[in-house]
């Protein structure tokens, strides 16, 4: 908890790391251009020169591929959403995981079903599961945090993906606290910045 408390303070009060965002923006632009030029296979997505930087931040090639693919095809999530999600992932990787990658990989068959609900909210159990894996860098290549289904959920509840990720991080294994927070957003107390 000490590490998490430090991370929250850092994330809220210290200005964004513009060098990090500048470099990640360059990688995003490269990814979009590559996808538009026909590079549609994640394993062969040519980002080898950028992998040292990405790995040092706890980010992998599939993170870039998924977000640039969805942007190219669906115009969502936006670049700003990509940056803020992965800035939080980087901070978690550095401050909580001490730059040591997890050796675990999410088994997609263990994800709650899409129709499974908690307190009458479908998709939320699955989303919480995915958010925890995203923070820890444990998502398998077939699973994306902030996929189309996630984005529909976020829009419905007026929640920004990074905001949700931060709440999941803060509450660790306290599912009920996360659910209560989501319900409060639905009541009109949600973020005004939910445009994805």
Question: In this structure, is residue 24 part of a structural domain?
Answer: yes
* Overall number of domains in the chain: 1
Q: According to the model, what pLDDT value does residue 173 have?
A: 86
196 domain-assigned: no
- pLDDT of 150 reads 97
Q: Which domain holds residue 60?
A: 2-189
pLDDT at 42: 94
Q: Which two tokens stand for residue 145?
A: 């945090």
Q: Is 21 domain-assigned? A: yes
Mean pLDDT by 10 residues, the chain (196 residues): 45 61 98 97 95 98 98 96 97 97 97 96 98 98 97 94 96 93 75 58
pLDDT at 18: 86
SS3 121: strand
| pLDDT value of position 17 | 78
CB neighbour burial string for 9-22, b if at least 16 within 10 angstroms, e if fewer: eebeeeeeeeebbe
Residue 156: inside a domain: yes
Q: Is residue 194 part of a domain?
A: no
HEC assignment per residue over 24-52: HHHHHHHHHHHHHCCCCCHHHCCCHHHHH
Cα-to-chain-centroid distance, residue 97: 16
Q: Whole-prediction pTM value? A: 0.88
| pLDDT of the residue at 187 | 65
Task: Go through the chain and tell me how many residues it has.
Answer: 196
142 found inside a domain:
yes
Which helix (H) or strand (E) segment is 90 a member of?
helix 79-95
- Match 């490269």 to its residue by tokens: 30
In a domain, 160, yes or no: yes
CA distance 162 to 177: 17
Q: Is residue 195 part of a domain?
A: no
């Amino acid at each position: 908890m000490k590490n998490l408390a430090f991370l929250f303070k850092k994330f809220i009060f210290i200005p964004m790391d513009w060098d990090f965002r500048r470099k990640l923006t360059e990688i995003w632009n490269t990814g979009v251009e590559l996808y538009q030029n026909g590079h549609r296979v994640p394993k062969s997505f040519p980002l080898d020169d950028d992998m040292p930087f990405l790995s040092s931040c706890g980010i992998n090639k599939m993170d870039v591929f998924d977000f640039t693919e969805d942007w190219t095809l669906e115009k969502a999530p936006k670049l700003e959403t990509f940056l803020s999600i992965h800035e939080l992932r980087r901070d978690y990787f550095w401050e909580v995981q001490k730059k040591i990658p997890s050796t675990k990989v999410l088994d997609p068959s263990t994800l709650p079903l899409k129709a499974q609900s908690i307190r009458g909210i479908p998709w939320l159990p699955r989303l919480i599961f995915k958010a925890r894996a995203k923070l820890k860098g444990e998502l398998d290549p077939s699973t994306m945090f902030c996929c189309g289904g996630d984005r529909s959920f976020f829009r419905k509840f007026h929640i920004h993906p990074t905001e949700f990720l931060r709440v999941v991080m803060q509450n660790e294994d306290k599912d009920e606290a996360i659910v209560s927070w989501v319900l409060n957003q639905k009541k009109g107390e949600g973020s005004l910045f939910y445009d994805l």
